[in-house]
Amino acid sequence: MSLLNGRVAIVSGAGSGLGRAASLSFAKEGAEVVLLGRRLNKLEETFEAIKEATGREALVIPTDVTDEQQIKQAVILAVDKWGKIDILLNNAAVLESGHVIELTSENWHTQVATNLTGPFFLSRAVIPYMRKERYGRIINITSGLSWNGAGGYGAYSAAKAGLESLTRTLADEEHEYGILINLYNPGTLRTEMHATGKDPAVVTPDLLRLASLPRGGPTGSTVSYG
């Protein structure tokens, strides 16, 4: 039996990199997948990959995770189609290097809005539906920069540190509803944000395990690749 049969999963940043790999992996394990991202052409490529691999169609919803209204509408569309949301993978991210003294206000707000506020908007939007089912699995993608920082990555590091704190807070608030919320640090991946690293597909087994945790499983924890 497939791990995610009957589950509905939302993946942000689904048009490329880890988001695409995770979406395909979830679909192969039986999930109905909702693809969120800003670039329609990239989402359509993920859609075609899923259709070719599984024979089933994903739901494509062009969405900017920094826009609260777009998030609300995307979740409503997903629930209208499948009646529930079981899994959320907060993967969408932006990384713009620059020392703190060089960062513009726009640079700072863009990175915090995507890497921290976006997961807040999405989590807040899906949790009422998860509470109703008394079941939910939320996975937030983090980075080693969240705790050790690094020169030139102040905004990204601060946003990821905030995401880790938000994750632990939500885990404490939602565990009584059967909602498990965890962090995943994939390490360096070869994506549009980074030219070198692992193929994103190698870490998807970890994401599948977090997406299919049994009731009473770990919550508020950090899992790292390897």
Q: Which of 135, 153, 156, 184 is catalytic?
A: 156
Q: Work out the average pLDDT over 147-154.
A: 65
Give the distance between the most distant pair of CA atoms in the chain. Answer: 54
Which pLDDT belongs to residue 145? 63
Query: Does residue 12 have a pLDDT over 70?
Result: yes
Q: Which helix (H) or strand (E) holds 157?
A: helix 154-174
Cα separation, 143 vs 155, whole angstroms: 13
**pLDDT class of 144 with cuts at 50, 70, 90:** confident
Confidence (pLDDT) at 151: 58
Alpha-carbon span 174 to 127, nearest angstrom: 8
Per-residue model confidence (pLDDT) at position 152: 60
Burial of residue 183 (CB within 10 Å: 0-12, 13-18, 19+) is buried
Structural domains of the chain ordered from first start? 8-224 (3.40.50.720)
Note the pLDDT tens digit of each residue in 73-129: 999 999 999 999 999 999 999 988 889 899 999 999 999 999 999 999 999 999 999
pLDDT tens by residue, 175-226: 999 999 999 999 888 766 666 678 999 999 999 999 999 999 999 999 999 7
Local confidence band at 148 (pLDDT 50, 70, 90 cut-offs): low
Residue 75 corresponds to which tokens in the numbers above? 């979740």
Q: Nearest-CA neighbor of 207 among 141, 152, 149, 157? A: 141
For residue range 37-49, list pLDDT tens digits in order. 999 999 999 999 9
- Those residues whose C-beta lies under 8 Å from the C-beta of residue 224, and which sit 6 or more positions away, are 184, 185, 186, 187
153 in active site: no
pLDDT > 70? residue 30: yes
Q: Tell me what pLDDT residue 149 has.
A: 58
Question: Cβ distance 139 to 90 under 8 Å?
Answer: yes
- DSSP β-ladder status, 222-224 and 59-62: unpaired
φ, ψ dihedrals at 36, nearest 5°: -115, 140
Q: What is the DSSP string of 34-96?
A: EEEES-HHHHHHHHHHHHHHHS--PEEEE--TT-HHHHHHHHHHHHHHHS---EEEE------
3, 169, 172, 211 from 182: Cα distances, Å: 18, 11, 11, 10
Token pair belonging to 89: 């993978």
CB-hemisphere CA count at 13 Å for 181? 27
What b/e string do you get for 15-38 counting C-beta neighbours within 10 Å, with b at 16 or more?
bbbbbbbbbbbbbbbebbbbbbbb
